[in-house]
Structure 1
Amino acid sequence: MTLNIDQIAQKKVAVIGGGIAGATTALHLAEQGIHIDLIEKNDSLVCGPPICHLHAGGNLYREISVEQCIELLEQSIDSVRLYPHTLNKRPTLIVVPHSDGGDPMALLSRLEQIRTVYQELVAKDEANQVLGNPLDYFKLYSRDDLEKLKSAEQVDCPQDYDQWLIPFAQFADLEGIKYPVVAVNEFGWSVFRIAASAMLALEKLPTSRVMVSTKLVDMTRVNDQWQLTLHHQPSNTTMQHDYDYVINACGFETGIVDDLADAPRQRMVEFKAAYVTQWAQNQQWWPEVIFHGPRGTPNGMAQLTPYSNSIFQLHGMTKDITLFDGGLVASNSLTSQPQLPSRLVDKIAQGWCESVRVARSNRAIEHMSRFVPDYASAIEFGTPLYGAQQIPGSDDTLRAADVSFSEKNYARIEVVKGSSALEAAKKIVSQWQLVQSVAEEAGTAAGANRSIEAIHPISCALSEQQVVEKAQQLAVERGYPIELAQVYGK
């Protein structure tokens, strides 16, 4: 049964978890007049696993299907339109070293398919052109092409692939890689500017209430509603609230709420970390660079993510850098919550031991120096970006996932990549027909033809200056360099 507009106005939704999934869902609902409480146990929003890359096409992942790549492309475009001041517009290089068994030409067919879909999306709606001209979605570089760039001088603000690739041509070990090298417009994505955008917009929305430092203790069904018992940590007070709908957006702890809701679900959880380093020798604008390698081996993928002032974030897909022994765990028949080792849970809850942080950061620097020899002069530069992500089901290669539903007006958001969060939110309001009834009363076609900008006037009206200022504040409060919050690229 479709509810009328007055009934919708009276309905109340609890969103449990204020990471990118919960914050985006709360924003999506509140922008459309749905009353939401966003419940987050930490003292601010979107402070979970590291996000540095948009994944607009999934080119980092050779193992996933073309269908997943296209899903990630479409979801990424929508996410950028919702959060327009969060991109770092620099290309990504996909590099296959000789130490990897892959063939760089194997990427070509998939890249062409993704480019075709991007062209179709832009032809359908010009506002979808957030990744540059579709014809320029990717470009191939031979060894001769890179040798020619070695003697070039980079301009202050690189505008095309050639200009972006100059430092790579000059500093990378060109003997150690296979050709061609692929440059693709998979842009950077700032987790701090995402957090700032969501927080600023939610503050302006009268239908949203953000309850930080508040932990869910229990939930029960009472008279066809969910009764949530919440504990507000600063005041040490416990309260109960009733809701018509509950959205579980608890990230790697989603299984805890599943258990409380008696809604079992199979999933995995994986703990990962990326390391903040400074390469003072570098004074150029770098693209992001992905050196492919077999996951979990000493030759695992190396990822170089650039920021201003010679700050770089490093991933190394080896067990002593980004991956951890016991870091990938699965749920069981007794609980929907996979159990990470206590040492990893302690990292999430209490932070890092300095000696471990320094040792792993230095191993990340050493790993990158295999491909960019001069990177050996870099230094570790503070707290890693870290956290755990959930993967629904039993396929640890799954990257495009969004939401699943249980009975009794209960949904769980199960994004693996942050760019899937808006898609999950849209499916929730469609499944529960929340926004549909409002749109019908307003005389529109269930909102289906409304643009993302029209649906989200508050979030899309934020200025870049507002977002960057708030993001820099969040970076400092969380102990990270402000460069991670600043705009990088053109």
Structure 2
Amino acid sequence: MNLIESKMTSLPLSDSPITVGIIGGGIAGSTIALRLAEQGINVQLFEEGKSLVNGPPICHLHAGGNLYREISDQQCLTLLTQSIDTLRVYQHTSNIRPTVIAIPCNDAGNPNDLLPRLELLQRTYQALVEHDLKNKVLGEPKDYFKLYQRSDLERLALQDNPSQPLTPDQWMIPVAKSINLDQFKYPLVMVQEYGLSVFRIAATLTLALEKLTSCHVHTSTKVTSLAEKSTGWQVSYQDATNQRHQIHVDYLVNAGGYRTGTIDDFAHIPRQRMVEFKAAYVTHWSQCDAQWPEVIFHGERGTPNGMAQLTPYPDGFFQLHGMTQDITLFKNGLVASNANSAQPQLDSSFKAKLQQHWSQQEIDQRTQRAINHMAQFVNKFDQATVGGKPLFGAQQIPGNDPTLRAADVSYSHQRYARSEIVKASSALSVADAIIEQLATLDLIPTPVPQTRENEFPVAHQLSQHDIVSYAEKIAEERGFPISLARPIGH
């Protein structure tokens, strides 16, 4: 029996006076389910896949949104706040290492243009910490970012790589030793944007929801139709044994991820959105003798000089993004909805990939392109090899702006909410908004204000050991190196 599936057994329902149906067990749907179930609200969570949180390649906690120089300051502030909340709730899911931002000489950007935003984010983080010391999850506010001139890097390049970097300078040493300093504009920036483990998030949610009798998780289950009723929705679904069922829910949450439009179509609710297929590539650099920070080499999206993202994991594994159509982006991989359907239609080749049908030739070819793209900046990275199959998925983008990164929830009917997150850290905002909406509709009592930690007592009882162990099992079952599930920087 499938490892994950075997653990997602039927759970007894609670005596909650209402039932909330959630369609989609990705990061958004599972987080909403956890938030509601922790409050004793009866939840029915439907996931078509075999396990929870098995979607796009989450790898980065966007604690400030500094990967995306094109987005607004307000989106960056939203991502900062949401990321702090995420670390407070999912306390064993981060990889605590900084992110370096470098602008190549052949890029039109100016490093000094980043400074006003960084200073705004630092001030905001300082204010959040002063408001509540539990918000200090990104280190000291004064250390939120640090600038490095060429002379700083020349000095650091002469030092040995530390076995366990602790200070910003120590984290920067392998970068200084491995990049061609003539290729970049100065200063380089180091910022406290950490890594986020999709496998440890999946483990946290799976283990916590197993313990909550108010949540019934239906994996390998496909919702087939919806019917609106005066007191909620009738959900028809087909289970793993192809048996058909119906259930009435008092409130319905559409958390279908890239298939959110399909659920809108079932509910006869028009909506405009985009869907983008993306992939990241797992590589192994066996000659690597240092712990690396994440490094972002800025570039113009969709061109041969698109952004290159180097995300480190233990044991010499690195996840790569290259924002070119030959690597992370795909020709015709960004599609929009139309007047006839709220669901953007990806080409059949992408649908095949989403069902895990990648040819080994394409895996090797695109991973090698990602390695070559990174090797133009990082000396000796051309020694890296294919480290596993790609991490991939389709990402929804509400509306028609492909640069949108901070989004949360929308409502179309009184008892219907739609999760529209683009980044994982936004999931908690959706869950909060739905709690508020349920209270506004008098479906639940007005919640008593609590700390983030007290909102998630069951999740907070989970130990790091149990989460990491289960995350390793998830990674192995999904066919990825277990090193991707292990923490770094702790």
Q: Please give the root-mean-square deviation of Cα atoms over the aligned residues, in Å.
A: 1.4
Give the match for residue 110 of structure 1: 117
Give the match for residue 453 of structure 1: 453
**Aligned residues of 2:274 and 2:335 also touching (Cα < 8 A):** yes
Are 2:372 and 1:366 aligned? yes
**Aligned residues of 2:103 and 2:299 also touching (Cα < 8 A):** yes
- Identify the range of structure 1 (431-440 vs 465-474) with the bigger mean alpha-carbon deviation: 431-440
- The change in CA–CA distance for 1:162 and 1:253 in structure 2 (over 3 A counts) is same
Give the match for residue 487 of structure 1: 487
Q: How does 1:301-320 map to 2 (within 5 A)?
A: 301-320=307-326
- Identify the range of structure 1 (418-427 vs 346-355) with the bigger mean alpha-carbon deviation: 346-355
Report SS of the residue matched to 1:426: helix
Give the match for residue 278 of structure 1: 284
Cα separation, 2, equivalents of 1:10 and 1:230: 22
Q: How does 1:249-288 map to 2 (within 5 A)?
A: 249-288=255-294
Deviation at 1:206, TM superposition (A): 1.1
- Identify the range of structure 1 (152-161 vs 277-286) with the bigger mean alpha-carbon deviation: 152-161
Partner AA of 1:398 in structure 2:
L
Cα separation, 2, equivalents of 1:376 and 1:82: 38
Q: Deviations over 1:111-165 (max 9, x none)?
A: 0000000000010111101100011000000000000011111222111110001
TM-score normalised by the chain length of structure 2: 0.96
- Identify the range of structure 1 (86-95 vs 215-224) with the bigger mean alpha-carbon deviation: 215-224
Q: How does 1:52-451 map to 2 (within 5 A)?
A: 52-233=59-240, 235-433=241-439, 446-448=447-449, 450-451=450-451
Cα separation, 2, equivalents of 1:394 and 1:8: 42
Partner AA of 2:93 in structure 1:
T
Give the match for residue 475 of structure 1: 475
- The change in CA–CA distance for 1:333 and 1:196 in structure 2 (over 3 A counts) is same
**Aligned residues of 1:32 and 1:435 also touching (Cα < 8 A):** no
Cα separation, 1, equivalents of 2:445 and 2:96: 35
**Aligned residues of 2:92 and 2:200 also touching (Cα < 8 A):** yes
Deviation at 1:223, TM superposition (A): 4.5
Partner AA of 1:298 in structure 2:
P
Where does structure 2 lack aligned partners over 5 or more consecutive residues?
1-13
Deviation at 1:225, TM superposition (A): 2.6
Q: Deviations over 1:276-331 (max 9, x none)?
A: 00111111000000000000000000000001111000000000000000000100
Cα separation, 1, equivalents of 2:471 and 2:441: 30
Cα separation, 2, equivalents of 1:223 and 1:158: 59
Q: How does 1:43-54 map to 2 (within 5 A)?
A: 43-54=50-61
- The change in CA–CA distance for 1:96 and 1:325 in structure 2 (over 3 A counts) is same
Cα separation, 2, equivalents of 1:212 and 1:408: 27
Deviation at 1:381, TM superposition (A): 1.2
Deviation at 1:8, TM superposition (A): 9.2
Give the match for residue 3 of structure 1: none
Identity of aligned residues (%): 53
**Aligned residues of 1:276 and 1:383 also touching (Cα < 8 A):** yes
Cα separation, 1, equivalents of 2:354 and 2:85: 30
Cα separation, 1, equivalents of 2:166 and 2:335: 43
Cα separation, 2, equivalents of 1:103 and 1:435: 49
**Aligned residues of 1:436 and 1:447 also touching (Cα < 8 A):** no
Deviation at 1:432, TM superposition (A): 2.1
Cα separation, 2, equivalents of 1:439 and 1:407: 21
Report SS of the residue matched to 2:380: helix
**Aligned residues of 1:224 and 1:244 also touching (Cα < 8 A):** yes
**Aligned residues of 1:435 and 1:447 also touching (Cα < 8 A):** no
- The change in CA–CA distance for 1:221 and 1:408 in structure 2 (over 3 A counts) is same
Cα separation, 2, equivalents of 1:436 and 1:205: 23
Q: Deviations over 1:172-220 (max 9, x none)?
A: 1211011000000000000000000000100001100111000000111
Q: Deviations over 1:364-418 (max 9, x none)?
A: 0000011013101110111100001000011111100000011140111000000
Partner AA of 2:337 in structure 1:
S
Partner AA of 2:277 in structure 1:
F
Cα separation, 2, equivalents of 1:303 and 1:138: 18
Cα separation, 1, equivalents of 2:442 and 2:371: 51
Deviation at 1:447, TM superposition (A): 2.4
**Aligned residues of 1:8 and 1:437 also touching (Cα < 8 A):** no
**Aligned residues of 2:273 and 2:400 also touching (Cα < 8 A):** yes
